[in-house]
């Protein structure tokens, strides 16, 4: 009744999984550096500026990809 599913990873799958596994470790290391700089300063304006910069850096690629998908959608619809 139920079909048995077997998983046999190939080299490509193992490479992608290892990159996805190590990516949070690399990202966390960078956040520790920013946190140390911000904790050492008493100026909250610097911390607010860095937080705004992070939001801008994160938002721009999503906006560009969204615009690209919207253009593709309009071209395929007409």
User: pLDDT by residue (tens digit) across 31-73?
Assistant: 666 777 777 767 777 777 877 888 888 888 899 999 999 999 9
Which residues does 34 contact at the CB level (< 8 Å), separation at least 6?
Answer: 50
Note the pTM of the prediction, 2 decimals: 0.44
Q: Is the pLDDT of residue 30 over 70?
A: no
DSSP labels, the chain: -PPPP-----HHHHHHHHHHHHHHHHHHHHHHHHHHHHHH---HHHHHHHHHHHHHHHHHHHHHHHHHHHHHHHHHH-
CA distances from 8 to 13, 14, 18, 19, 20 (A): 9, 10, 16, 18, 18
């Amino acid at each position: 009744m139920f079909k048995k599913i077997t998983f046999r990873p190939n080299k490509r799958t193992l490479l992608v999984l290892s990159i996805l596994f190590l990516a949070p470790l690399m990202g966390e290391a960078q956040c520790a550096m920013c946190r140390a700089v911000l904790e050492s300063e008493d100026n909250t304006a610097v911390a607010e500026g860095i937080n705004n910069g992070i939001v801008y850096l994160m938002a721009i690629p999503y906006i560009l990809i969204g615009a690209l998908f919207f253009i593709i959608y309009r071209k395929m619809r007409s």
